[in-house]
Chains A and B, each alone.
Chain A
Amino acid sequence: MFLNICLYLLVLSNFLLLGTARVVQMTKYTALQGFLLAALLFHSGHTVLTLAVLVIKGLVLPGLLWRTEHRMPAESLICPHRLVALDVIAGMAGLAFAFWLDARLGSDLTHNLFPKLFLPLGLTTLFCGLILIIGRVKAITQVIGYLAAENGIFLLGMPLMTQGTTWFELALLLDVFVAVFVMGIAINRISDSFASMDVDRFRSLRD
């Protein structure tokens, strides 16, 4: 029951992420996802890891994002509204595709390794993160999308943790990478120019 509620909330947070155009709101949903992942870990009995995930995914990374956002001009924290609906539809397609994939992959893999719903919902989170990266053109939303995608990978890796901690260590490395990513934006004093800049402007860098 607890597991199902957590997974339901995770899917909800994914669609909330996709459905909002405000970066500050998106940061809050990212923190929510971190808490949910920690709760899932607690449920499967990894107490130490729960604390680590809670601190990194629930507090440190959203906190860093939060700090960065406060230094940015207000207009750069709103994404274009016209893309939001499209993103939600794409997220739904991702959800459907994830369930189709789960069915196609066969019962032995999913039932022996993954608890019910773990695989499709992990994939959905991953897809939603990628859709955020693709659909939003602000630099900071790229980071948030990356974070969401990474949460999906973490969810997929969680059942594998019983067979060794390698997956978890890799996931932590990804988290550290995100931290460096965010600090790269925030600390290197490029926040003003970089944050207000659309990723579209990177085009001039091609060739």
Chain B
Amino acid sequence: MTMPLFLAALAIYAASGLCVLVPALLNYRKQSAHLANLLGLLGTLAGSLTGLCALILAPAGTESFQAPFGLPFGSFALSLDGLSRIFLFPVFGLGLLCAVQGYTSLRHERPSQHNLGAHWLFYLLLLLGLCLVLTARDIVLFLVSWEIMSLAPFFLIDFNDGDSRVRDASWVYLVAAHLGAVALLAFFVLFWQLTGHTAWQAGTALSLSETSRNLLFLLALVGFGAKAGLAPMHIWLPEAHPAAPSHVSALLSGAMINAGLYGIIRTVSLLADHARPPEWWGWLILAAGLGTALMGMLKALAQSNVKRLLAYSSVENMGIMTMGLGCALIGQSLGHGWMALAGLCACLLHMLNHACFKGLLFMAAGEVLHATGTVNMAQLGGLAKKMPVLAVCFATGAAAIACLPPFNGFAGELTLALSLLDGSSLATTERQMLLLLHFAGLCAISGLALALYAKAFGMVFLGQARSGFAENVQTQSWHSLWPLILLALGCLLLGLLASPVFSQIATSVTGLFPLENLTGFARAKASIGRSLMLTGLIAGLVILAVGAVMLLRKKMLHKRGIRFMPTWACGYQGGNSRIQYTDASFTEPLARLLGPLMGLKVSQSQDKGLFPRSAQLLVKAPERLRRAVYGPLFAGIESVCNALKIFQHGKIHLYILYILVTVIGLLIWGLMSN
């Protein structure tokens, strides 16, 4: 009986949106900005808490709701099932925490520069759109909600619209979102035509032929993949995330791009309803996932802007989730219960984990930006001494995303690895080899992730300050950091409690895909749960041991003189911040090794002679895709559109001629065809 609660959450979002509309329309004044900030926060808090209650009271089970829509087609049909509930957790959870963080950071904005009422309106609209997308069971309602969800971030990203780069980024986002929407429109119109009705529920696609199923699958992969950031449609992520305010980036990266993944899973589950999906669907998704993950990781390595690095890392993590889905489809089509269950659960588990740690990391980056004024790693360093709580939070997130046990990232990728390792039981050698290759790819990605986050954490928080930005830090009390602390605790808890979460997800998704009849399903559910339980247990013990050692250290150092020295003080005479690794020098060996693969450029220049006076090393990741493919493509489209302007010459009487010619043409056509 949680549907009323969920509907109440939607109503609260909508009502709060109307409330913040009032200060949004008022003149920019200090009071109205404060009012908007407060109203937006309260509305989001109330709505998200109600929604979370609805989810926690009944984590499984299906409930439906139908209401009159007011349109001649479609219906207002909502339904909460296992999959929707899993995807709604990050929306409500991150929506709540990001709102709190946004409230504290927006308090300091000048009301003359930003319309906070409008900002909160679009924030609430984004949450509302996301909730509707994840629960809509009618394609018209789905498309309307999808459009709300896609439009609202444009205004959120464009918050600092005085900066031309921010404006550029928000346009890139808008174009990418609508190119995806074009594919989705085609997908839904085709779906509607083929099935004859607008229901978006199980059992609607039973009558479809093999060809139309394949076509629908490809359209959905392109349309939803653009939102999820699958390569090569990922280009909006590294533009939009650095440009947006940090709490918005956290929400977009942790909750919104999941909607793309949700769409793919939902589509596949509908199209493969009570039938085994073609095997190539799984391979295609698996390969796309691996490609996306590798590309995102290598590009992330070359970034020196922390938020851009995190954005590329989102692309990489989305690739990992997609790999899980690919495994699930291969397993389902070949009848391997272990592979299917582990793959699907890995996908969803990693989605939850990613929401947790990516939200944390983006918020931490926002705090760094707020404290120092920059997120460029070349100008940061040594922040751990000045902001220890923030450093611990960031370190937790970094360790979690780099799949270090005891945190949650490890549990998700372990499940995925278990799924891929089941490839050895598949029928032919080619399949075994391919899955093994993907397993190797996953291992490489995990290793590279460790390097990436060692760099991100090291450059920002360790060592000495590299510039005045990092030296003159505006420290805030750690009380404002409690959304981050909560998320860090979430990373830890999801890691320790991975086993119950896994069983919950496994129970929720079995209704969606007919997995129970596959061989090895029960064994998989029991033994993967047991492995996760074991890792959780060991992780708990390790944490206890580390805690004990730290206590012991504190006790032993008690009442002893402790001297604090600058970093790198041992062994260097007159050391300064310039002797440290830079972000480029940290990446250089990897970039030289893998650069040709992903278009990383290493440029090194130094004076000749034994004692060079100056030397410079740069690692760059030029946006080749945008410059070589999308740029010329859109320029071509623009020139074609400009060429069409000869028809728009402004001569009214010739416009009337167009109408006349059209009408007469239609008349002739209609009469001739009779």
Contacts and interface: CB of A to CB of B under 8 A. Distances in A.
Interface of A: 97, 101, 104-105, 127, 130, 133-137, 142, 199-200, 202-207
A199 B653 contact: yes
A127 B656 CA distance: 12
> On chain B, which size bracket covers the interface?
10 to 19
A164 B650 CA distance: 40
Contact of A199 (B648, B649, B652, B664): B652
A206 B653 CA distance: 13
B477 to A, nearest CB: 55
Tell me if A's interface is mostly helix, strand, loop or mixed: helix
Contact of A202 (B650, B657, B660, B664): B650
15 contacts: A97-B664, A101-B667, A105-B671, A130-B660, A133-B653, A134-B653, A134-B654, A135-B653, A142-B653, A199-B652, A202-B652, A203-B650, A205-B650, A206-B649, A207-B650
A136 B652 CA distance: 11
Give the most central of B650, B653, B654: most A CB within 10 Å. Answer: B653
Contacts of A134: 653-654, 656-657, 660
Contact of A203 (B651, B657, B671): B651
Contacts of B660: 127, 130, 134
A38 to B, nearest CB: 28
B651 A101 contact: no
Contacts of B649: 203, 206
A12 B652 CA distance: 28
A179 to B, nearest CB: 21
A101 B653 contact: no
Contacts of A205: 650
Contacts of A207: 648, 650
A176 B355 CA distance: 65
A164 B660 CA distance: 29
A137 B654 CA distance: 10
Interface in B493-546: none
A133 B656 CA distance: 8
Interface in B631-655: 648-654
A199 B652 CA distance: 7
Nearest to B670: A104
> Of B648, B656, B674, which is in contact with the most chain A CB atoms at under 10 Å from its CB?
B656
A203 B645 CA distance: 13
B79 to A, nearest CB: 47
Closest 8 CB pairs of A and B: A206-B650, A203-B650, A104-B671, A134-B657, A134-B653, A130-B660, A133-B656, A202-B652
Interface in B166-193: none
A132 B318 CA distance: 63
Given A134-B656, A134-B657, A199 B671 contact: no
A203 B649 CA distance: 7
A206 B654 contact: no
Contacts of A200: 651
B453 to A, nearest CB: 51
Nearest to B654: A134
A137 B653 contact: yes
A144 B502 CA distance: 79
B656 A199 contact: no
Contacts of A202: 650-652
Interface of B: 648-654, 656-657, 660, 664, 667, 671, 674
A162 B674 CA distance: 29
B408 to A, nearest CB: 55
Nearest to B655: A134
Nearest to B657: A134
Contacts of A142: 653
A202 B656 CA distance: 14
A189 B463 CA distance: 80
Contacts of B671: 101, 104-105
B652 to A, nearest CB: 5
B604 to A, nearest CB: 51
Contacts of A104: 671, 674
A139 to B, nearest CB: 10
B664 to A, nearest CB: 7
A135 B653 CA distance: 7
A175 B657 CA distance: 22
B674 to A, nearest CB: 8
Contacts of A105: 671
Nearest to B671: A104
Nearest to B648: A206
Nearest to B672: A104
A204 B667 CA distance: 33
Contacts of A133: 653, 656
Contacts of B674: 104
Contacts of B664: 97
A204 B652 CA distance: 11
A137 B656 CA distance: 12
Contacts of B656: 130, 133-134
Contacts of A97: 664
A172 B653 CA distance: 24
A142 B654 CA distance: 12
A172 B154 CA distance: 50
Contacts of A127: 660
A18 B667 CA distance: 24
A199 B667 contact: no
B672 to A, nearest CB: 8
A105 B660 CA distance: 19
A147 to B, nearest CB: 15
A94 to B, nearest CB: 9
Nearest to A103: B671
Nearest to B667: A101
A97 B660 CA distance: 13
Nearest to B659: A130
A26 to B, nearest CB: 16
Contacts of B653: 133-137, 142, 199
B77 to A, nearest CB: 41
A130 B652 CA distance: 12
Contacts of B651: 199-200, 202-203
B654 A204 contact: no
A105 B672 CA distance: 10
A142 B164 CA distance: 47
Contacts of A136: 653
A130 B660 CA distance: 8
Given A134-B653, A137-B653, A207-B648, 5 more contacts: A130-B656, A133-B653, A202-B651, A203-B651, A206-B649
B650 A204 contact: yes
A117 to B, nearest CB: 19
A103 B201 CA distance: 52
A142 B656 CA distance: 11
Nearest to A131: B660
Nearest to A203: B650
B671 to A, nearest CB: 4
A107 B651 CA distance: 40
A130 B667 CA distance: 16
A42 B650 CA distance: 43
A135 B648 CA distance: 18
Nearest to A132: B653
A30 B667 CA distance: 28
B656 to A, nearest CB: 5
A101 B674 CA distance: 13
A18 to B, nearest CB: 15
Contacts of A204: 650
B670 to A, nearest CB: 9
A206 B647 CA distance: 12
B643 to A, nearest CB: 16
Nearest to A202: B652
